[in-house]
Structure 1
Amino acid sequence: MTRRILPYRIPSEDVLTAQKWLLVTEDGEVTMPEALPDWDYQMDLHLRRTVSVDLDRARVQSGLPTDAALMLAAVWTATGSNLSGPAQHVRLVEGGTRKVELDIRLKGADLGGLLLLDTALVLAERRSDARPSSPRRAGSVLWSDRESLRLQGDAPQFPMAVIDFARTSFPDEAAWHLQISGGLESATMGSLLLLVNERNTVTATAFENAGKPRPVDRIVLSAVYADAARIMMEHALGNGDFAEDADFPDGSLGATMLSLFDQLFPGQSITDIRLRQRQSPALFASDLQAAVKIFEVS
């Protein structure tokens, strides 16, 4: 592990023993994987981790008095949504070895892309009596680590909402509508919104069951994702700035579109696919159905 050089003393790595993050599911706990390819924005995450801290050694090696209050904190960051926030913090004022159970729940609507989980042991309060070589500011980091979970699977990922289409300008009997706004430089999370008509119970139920779909739910979700991929590609190909050499910011709509294009049409140029879409829209639609493997459900 790379060790940062800080302007104050910090304890050795072995004063903490941090277990791996565990993903809590309906079927039990599993070690958090590197990626969740079936994740979507309807899927909340429940994560747990146990951390043991030798508080006496942590204070002594940092040059802190025995009554210095410490804190173990967990913070999350999602690159897909550009959101972050505190997950949990536990104040540590006692001595000896303390075992801390971190137990966090994150809303799927706030996530996307790469989920970063930072755990840190910090000084809880400012110490005006600290030695020159010791940490003194509240929040001074004594130890930290980071683990990540990739949430972006092969299917298009976007936030969604279930609404009554009768109260909108959309046709009452339509099942869904993918709304795209903003330019290619805009953040994906603020540019894409999948609206599902609550009156279409088959589709609404499929998304409710997205975490553990039935065979019929998989078929519906496959149709929605195929249609969404078509709409996204048509939107991208209709923009002249959409090109292989375009440098879109991470987390932007353009970067998302380029990533999706590479998944659907590997080894093919945007110019060729744009020409095919313009000259033969029906053939393009069939090509895209084949690319997303529509209705190939397990």
Structure 2
Amino acid sequence: MLLEDGEIPLPEAVPDWDYRMDLHLRRTVRVDVEQARSQSGLSAESDLMLSVVWTSRGSNLSGPAQQLRLADLETTTVTLDIRLPGTDLGGLLVLDTALLLADRQHSGRMSAPRRAGSVLWSDRRSLRLQGDAPQFPMAVIDFGRTSFPDNAAWHLQISGGMESATMGSLLLLVNERNAVTAAAFENAGRPRPVDRAVLSVVYADAARTMVEHALNTDDFTEDADFPEGSLGATLQALFDQLFPEQSVTDIRLRRHQSPSLFASDLQAAVRILEVPS
């Protein structure tokens, strides 16, 4: 994995990732072409191909990352250079690397693969792109051109049902007219003290909006089985993080009976304006 300050082995997770961070990945694969053909029962003239496909569980998107037809050598070393836009990603990123039959075959052993795209070898690696904080797409826009109040600093849009993909259900809109908030997100990679304070308040408000949306949905319970990467699963994870060992029913009741206490509990849970150690 390539970062601004150098190359590192692929980690299990990138906790500080957000949707504005594109991924640059590199992998070197050594292929014994002759042996691959022989063990697969293919003829010596069969063309092989290395392919990488990515799947993002958080966005429910996938696609080809790179395909390379291998040179007609006994052994070849290939460097796969992959760039993925952050706006397409989220949650668990799965990378499948496969050695494929490039073209349809009409010769070789009877047991040999025939169809183009037949998999001769494969390998899977995973990378988690969400830390403890909820992740969702964001955009900086002029609220003066929308139905939102001109002087509002941000707005979290939530759409779709609990089984909808989180990536398509959440969108944080930041008002470019609010210079302080817009600057905080611009500097999120290297935040100043004022940026940290603003981001903390935005996170607290986004968490409140998400929790209240969940509590207003009848089928949101701790026992509900929502698909991985769905809005419901994301809200469950956030709820468990903010209110560990507390039931959804108890929190619903507290919010109904004492909204001010619920608001204070939520402030404490998100550690609003807490200075990191």
Match of 2:249 in 1: 271
Please say if 1:149 is aligned against 2:127.
yes
Give the counterpart of 1:192 among 170, 192, 210. 170
Contact 2:43 2:107 in 1 (8 A): no
Please say if 1:139 is aligned against 2:82.
no
Residues 100 and 190 (structure 1), Cα distance of their counterparts in 2 relative to 1, 3 Å cut:
same
Give the counterpart of 1:234 among 203, 212, 220. 212
* CA distances 1:249-286 after superposition (whole Å, capped 9, x unpaired): 22222221111100111011111111111122222112
Match of 2:97 in 1: 119
* CA distances 1:126-184 after superposition (whole Å, capped 9, x unpaired): 11123211111111111110010111211111111111111001111211100112222
Moved more, 262-271 or 62-71: 62-71
SS in 2 for 1:71: strand
**Separation (CA, whole Å) in 1 of partners of 2:226 and 2:12:** 25
* CA distances 1:203-225 after superposition (whole Å, capped 9, x unpaired): 22322333343443332222211
Please say if 1:246 is aligned against 2:216.
no
Match of 1:83 in 2: 61
* Runs of 5+ consecutive residues of structure 2 not aligned to the other structure: none
**Separation (CA, whole Å) in 1 of partners of 2:193 and 2:49:** 47
How far does residue 104 in structure 1 lie from its aligned partner after superposition?
0.9
* CA distances 1:61-102 after superposition (whole Å, capped 9, x unpaired): 222222211101111001011100000111113112211111
- Give the TM-score taking structure 1 as reference length: 0.88
How far does residue 297 in structure 1 lie from its aligned partner after superposition?
4.2
How far does residue 41 in structure 1 lie from its aligned partner after superposition?
1.4
Match of 1:72 in 2: 50
Residues 55 and 215 (structure 1), Cα distance of their counterparts in 2 relative to 1, 3 Å cut:
farther
Contact 1:122 1:143 in 2 (8 A): yes
Alignment of 1:1-298 (within 5 A): 23-298=1-276
SS in 1 for 2:155: strand
Contact 1:43 1:210 in 2 (8 A): no
Aligned AA (1:103): D
**Separation (CA, whole Å) in 2 of partners of 1:251 and 1:87:** 21
* Runs of 5+ consecutive residues of structure 1 not aligned to the other structure: 1-22
**Separation (CA, whole Å) in 2 of partners of 1:271 and 1:205:** 39
How far does residue 119 in structure 1 lie from its aligned partner after superposition?
0.4
SS in 1 for 2:90: coil
Aligned AA (1:42): R
**Separation (CA, whole Å) in 2 of partners of 1:286 and 1:228:** 15
Residues 296 and 47 (structure 1), Cα distance of their counterparts in 2 relative to 1, 3 Å cut:
farther
Aligned AA (1:287): D
Report % sequence identity: 75
**Separation (CA, whole Å) in 1 of partners of 2:73 and 2:200:** 55
Moved more, 49-58 or 77-86: 49-58
Residues 30 and 127 (structure 1), Cα distance of their counterparts in 2 relative to 1, 3 Å cut:
same
How far does residue 40 in structure 1 lie from its aligned partner after superposition?
1.6
Aligned AA (1:56): E
Residues 230 and 139 (structure 1), Cα distance of their counterparts in 2 relative to 1, 3 Å cut:
same
Residues 212 and 88 (structure 1), Cα distance of their counterparts in 2 relative to 1, 3 Å cut:
farther
Residues 214 and 103 (structure 1), Cα distance of their counterparts in 2 relative to 1, 3 Å cut:
farther
How far does residue 186 in structure 1 lie from its aligned partner after superposition?
2.4
Contact 2:42 2:107 in 1 (8 A): no
